[in-house]
Amino acid sequence: MKFTNKCPKCGSSDVIADAKAIDRTRGGSGSIETELTVATFRKPDAVLFKGQQNTSLSAWVCAACGFVEFYADSPKTLKMATA
Ligand SMILES: [Zn+2]
């Protein structure tokens, strides 16, 4: 979708590119908005210093059917963690 600019579900080319994925949490003083991220851990079993590496996500949204596809902004960041 990111590269074809075409929805794989309905075939529409009415695609909204690079939308930000926002996660809204209700905090003590109202709502907090954080960017959605994905993470990998170099040492998942460690109690401290798990070696977390994360990247934010961007969404491609089909304006016709609503299908959403997520892409990691820096996928290589995550890959280095498993090396
Ligand atoms: Zn679609």
Amino acid at 38: V
Note the pLDDT of residue 83. 46
Could you tell me the distance, in angstroms and rounded to a whole number, from the CA of residue 23 to the centre of ligand 1? 23
Element (H, E) at 71: strand 68-72
Distance from C-alpha of 83 to C-alpha of 79, rounded to nearest angstrom: 7
CA of 67 to the centre of ligand 1 (A): 5
Ion ligand 1: residue ranges with CB closer than 5 A: 7, 9-10, 12, 62, 64-65, 67
DSSP 8-state symbol, 6: S
- What is the structure's pLDDT at 73? 93
Per-residue model confidence (pLDDT) at position 80: 63
> Domains of the chain: which residue ranges?
15-82
**Does position 59 have pLDDT exceeding 70, yes or no?**
yes
Mean pLDDT of 40-62: 89
Q: Give distance in angstroms: CA of 78 to centre of ligand 1.
A: 29
What tens digit of pLDDT does each residue of 67-81 get?
A: 999 999 999 988 864
Any idea which residue has 């003083």 for tokens? Answer: 29
